[in-house]
Amino acid sequence: MSTYAYLGPVGTFTEAALKKITQSSDTRTPYANVTATLDAVRSGQAEYALVPIENSVEGVVARTLDELATGTPLVITGEVTLPVSFALMVKPGNKAINRIATHPHAESQCRTYVAKNYPHAELIPTASTAAAAEAISRGEFDAAIASAAAAEHFGLEVIAQDIGDNNGAVTRFVLAHKPGLKTVSTGNDRTSLAVFIDIDHAGALLEILSVFAKYEVNLTFIQSRPTGRELGHYHFIIDVEGHIDDAGVGQAVKDLEAICDEIRFLGSYPREVR
């Protein structure tokens, strides 16, 4: 039996993703936000934490990227993807919809529906879609955009299904663990890195990309983020195909260490086959 922390409350897409990779005997505990979820592993309250990292429509989850790159070190040991479908829900009997609560990522994926049907409604950001549903169950707002599972859990009435602008939306989640848990190469892996340059300068990104090109390592994801130190200081979150034990990936990381201020290894783990 293993213990897992996940972005809660109950009824989030993260919980649904976690159920894909856990057993009924495992302990699954919801936390209020990404930081608290990852801190549960850092403090020893859980062995693993599952958090969202990117969506095919909205893009990256910045808080997850920043926590992994600059927070107390953790490593990614696995990933899981989940198609996401949104529903509009209310407390049974409610008719007037003037305030709609949801997570910002969900709101951005349902803009067309909301603009067409509720152009004057105020949109209230919440920590998760399930948190929005929970708030509706307490009567705090008029409606929520969340999963149908959240509606069922909190006893809400779904008044519109599949309201997302893109029916093919998929969210990727990563499983984090304390450093020291080593994975083995499977032949279909992903390696994640946080690459810190000394200071922004012309050609900095090209230098990094040239190293991967030299060893024929394919990049699958790259995102720049400020370090928070001062203007001009950035780091890159980079995902590449392959395992750190693969010759090309391992040598590329060694070469990067010679030209970068810091390299934080975020993990090598099996890619989910979709």
Encoded tokens for 22: 């856990």
- For the full predicted model, state whether its pTM sits above 0.85: yes
Q: Is the dihedral of CA 245, 248, 249, 254 positive or negative?
A: positive
C-alpha span between 60 and 234 (Å, rounded): 16
Q: Identify any residues that bridge with 195 across adjacent strands, giving them in sequence order.
A: 236, 263
Rg (CA), the chain: 20
223 and 236 Cβ atoms separated by less than 8 Å: yes
pLDDT in tens, the chain (274 residues): 899 999 998 889 999 999 999 998 999 999 999 999 999 999 999 999 999 999 887 788 999 999 999 999 999 999 999 998 999 999 998 889 999 999 998 998 999 999 999 999 999 999 889 999 999 999 999 999 999 989 999 999 999 999 998 878 899 999 999 998 888 999 999 999 999 886 656 667 888 899 999 999 999 999 988 776 666 677 899 999 999 999 999 999 999 998 888 899 999 999 986 5
CATH number attached to the domain at 3-84+169-177: 3.40.190.10
- Give the start-to-end residue ranges of the domains of the chain: 3-84+169-177, 87-160, 189-270
Beta-strand pair 87-90/143-146: antiparallel
Fold agreement (3-84+169-177, 87-160): yes
E strands, the chain, where?
A: 3-7, 27-31, 48-55, 59-60, 75-83, 87-90, 99-102, 122-125, 143-146, 157-160, 170-177, 189-196, 219-226, 234-241, 262-270
CATH number attached to the domain at 87-160: 3.40.190.10
C-alpha span between 11 and 65 (Å, rounded): 23
Class of domain 189-270: alpha beta
pLDDT for res 230 = 66
Q: In what order do the strands lie in the sheet containing 143-146?
A: 122-125, 99-102, 143-146, 87-90, 157-160
User: For the chain, how many residues are written?
Assistant: 274
pLDDT for res 199 = 63
